[in-house]
Chains A and B, each alone.
Chain A
């Protein structure tokens, strides 16, 4: 075993969350170590030419977490044998797991809208609006709770987060910008950068919905889609300079969303450079964390253990450990280390006990879900123009509780962020087989084979019309039956159990889709779309076949009550434990991500954004904790 020098703060994983914590703490004069299992990607050398290589990047997965090292298993319910994920989906549009500095955010479209006030108080607001039994009635084995903090308490952290990462947008879509404005999460400060140039489809969507009445009886309020890709040169509060997007495309789908200019926000190009410049930060790459070493009493973490590239065991002691790892990797590390109380599901009673692994939710749409599609007479270049998330227009009017859910059948809560008009970025594989090659079916008797299908691909990248559509769904709600634990059969390359996901769609997702799809159908029809068609095919078990790995959330709650939630907001932590968790695992309040897409999609990765302010809160809490430690007020 190799002993490393003790430091003040050890960051486990170096993605978005650790980027904030490491930078804030290092700039405040603390010694910080960040440990990541992958390399430090350099966009100039690693992405500037090679990202245009769809086969190597999108299909060979050369930037992604290697499955031979570690995978996960998945099943739909606790009675099943969980099968391991053997291969990244080919094609892979939705399964980019991070590897190295920046983590999963090296591979996202850049959707970065805020969570609104309702999301933080989903349980209590639903109860007061529709009755105390409403949630339990629509969500079997319901385990939904409010966050311990409100949106208003997180708002200042959102501002810091948006400054650090150079978020583009314009809140002027909000009619009043007041805290009482239900059409928009109130913002004390506009986004630091203006939106990207709008596409013709975005303009059509905007002008159409401006003249339409939303379900709440008011006019729709469209606004430029919020994006984490810088639209202009920018310098953040840490002095890190940011290149603007060059719109060279090759972003979506098979190109794995790698960004060759660093315009797309992630820790590697926004926060970590400042941490390194401070002189107080040590970055350890290609290091696979496998255990947290606990004190004899079990209420303190003493050290983190990791394997280096040669398989040597390193021991890294510290005063504070911040877990910024990917969602279920974080859960797995805690379970492997005996930290916290493992969640145990009781299928007999339909409840569970324990906290670590509880409340797994999904932040993305059922692949074969309810959907609506049509065609508009706007052409364009479907070849790799554009970027991953800019250029579109969105509305909040079909989201959260921004319309009444009374008397809707089947019942549901929440809704989705809808928008249209994002750029058609992507390489050649993206449009032809981003969703996989089709089996023979009624519409295409030979599937993706033969002359008839081939003819549909001729000049497909030079469309004179565009397909528009949406696969909406309402928030996935936490339930006792969806959770994470350790798999009893499969191990990683070092012989440790992999994580096991027990998950199926909750009824709220597809019940909401049934309602939302018709609202969007009305919008598409008003836009002048032809052949507007609704398909309603959501059913259980689709999750088993499509692994939506990087959109899964939950498994560890943010909480102030340490008996209810293992992860704690900082206020409750001082004096208890050295661990701080990011809220990306607090999925019980995840919402949104309904979406309206053109052919390549305008993604909504809003869950990332909800974790952002939590990382600032954690950084603040760690500073207080270290100060208390220094004064001896805690031991």
Chain B
């Protein structure tokens, strides 16, 4: 599923440089004339760079997802936002690059999450032993400690509407898992896992693939589009845990034994839409195709391209005006007198 174009970029090794240059306008300096072959390569690279810069903030290449994860995530995001007759989808927007970079950055490192133990992830199997929490770089500096995650033994809960009792320090505590809640798991007290988000994705992607193979007869990438959607819907419904044909083995990855599958379905769906709609600075929404699709203007407040409009008028208008979008990089270049 990896496209030929992407392979070529990877081979040239330009990914990181291209992204940096496109985002900030930094030029790549030439290294001199010692080696004409090297010079030719650099000239070629600079031409490629120039071409890339004409595409706003287009990034390629991977810094976090491994080769198996790349093709899997690519297939998933294209299920969530397909390219169709209405317009470009996750593929054209480069959503996979957005996710890849997010996983390598603060999002994946859980850099702004509270990671203090004990951890009470739902459905921890009885056989699971204590895990050690890996402190993210963001909070390790605050106190140099490794925490032991208290994984509870006992009966696995059946998720929504369920209760479970934990014993901590001789006292019993009951946890109710959202009586009325839809699995809006991005919120508040969810994500009680003793691992950071990168690790969460690694475990969950492997579980999704195992589930796909066991119940749909092949890797996710090879399934029909109908079945690809159904796998994701199964995750939303936490079906892997309750499959009966045949039941997943206890503690088997296939049953998302350590992860609430809907937690991962939420992250997949949310991060795909974020990759479609966030500023191109972060690798997705390439060439602002996402903004163009939804009719969003970015930081064009009415006169970015000399349209002569202003926000005070636009905001009290009773009919919409479509503007050509502008990105944060363009805005900052304009603000600093750049191109």
A residues contacting B by CB (< 8 A) are: 49, 52-55, 59-61, 66-71, 73-76, 79-81, 83-91, 95, 197-200, 246-250, 368, 378-386, 391, 423-425, 427-429, 432-433, 436-441, 445-451, 454-455, 457-464, 488-495, 498, 537, 539-542, 544-547, 549
Contacts and interface: CB of A to CB of B under 8 A. Distances in A.
Interface in B209-264: 229, 232-233, 236-237, 262
B123 interface: no
A461 B269 contact: no
Given A53-B281, A54-B278, A88 B229 contact: no
A262 to B, nearest CB: 17
B24 interface: no
B86 A61 contact: no
B187 interface: yes
Nearest to B281: A53
Contact of B187 (A59, A446, A495, A545): A545
Interface in B6-53: none
Interface in B176-217: 176, 178-184, 186-192
Ranked 6 nearest A-B pairs via Cβ: A81-B173, A547-B188, A68-B139, A385-B315, A71-B114, A462-B320
A569 B115 CA distance: 39
Contact of B142 (A85, A368, A493, A549): A493
B294 A490 contact: no
A546 B118 contact: no
B320 A464 contact: yes
Q: Of B81, B116, B232, B318, which is in contact with the most chain A CB atoms at under 10 Å from its CB?
A: B116
B274 A541 contact: no
A437 B183 contact: no
B294 A83 contact: no
Contacts of B290: 428
Contacts of B269: 437, 447-449
A149 to B, nearest CB: 35
Nearest to B118: A489
Nearest to B80: A449
* Residue of A73, A74, A248, A441 ringed by the most chain B CB atoms within 10 A: A248
The residue in B86, B184, B190, B191 that gathers the most chain A C-beta atoms within 10 A of its C-beta is B184
A447 B265 CA distance: 11
14 contacts: A55-B274, A55-B278, A73-B189, A199-B316, A249-B311, A249-B315, A379-B318, A380-B315, A384-B311, A386-B311, A458-B86, A542-B180, A542-B181, A545-B181
Contacts of A448: 80, 269, 273
Contacts of A423: 315
Contacts of A440: 233, 236-237
Given A59-B274, A68-B112, A381 B184 contact: no
B318 A85 contact: no
A547 B176 CA distance: 15
Given A52-B299, A248-B301, A544 B178 contact: yes
B142 to A, nearest CB: 4
B3 interface: no
Which secondary structure characterizes the binding site on chain A?
loop
B113 A68 contact: yes
Contacts of B188: 74, 85-86, 89, 95, 545-547, 549
Given A379-B319, A450-B79, A541 B294 contact: no
Given A86-B192, A432-B277, A461-B295, A68 B114 contact: yes
Contacts of B297: 383-384, 461
A344 B274 CA distance: 44
B305 interface: no
Interface residues of B, number: 88
B54 interface: no
A238 B62 CA distance: 54
A545 B321 contact: no
Given A68-B139, A83-B192, A545-B189, A247 B106 contact: no
A81 B175 contact: yes
B182 A439 contact: yes
B113 A87 contact: yes
A463 B61 CA distance: 36
B314 interface: yes
A458 B293 contact: yes
Contacts of A70: 114
Given A380-B320, A446-B233, A493-B139, A385 B314 contact: yes
A67 B273 contact: no
B143 interface: yes
B148 interface: no
B174 A436 contact: no
B139 A450 contact: no
B294 A71 contact: no
A459 B281 CA distance: 22
Contact of A383 (B168, B182, B296): B296
Nearest to B191: A86
Interface stretch (B63-71, B124-132, B327-335): B327-335
Nearest to B325: A383
Given A542-B180, A547-B188, A49 B335 contact: yes
Nearest to B187: A89
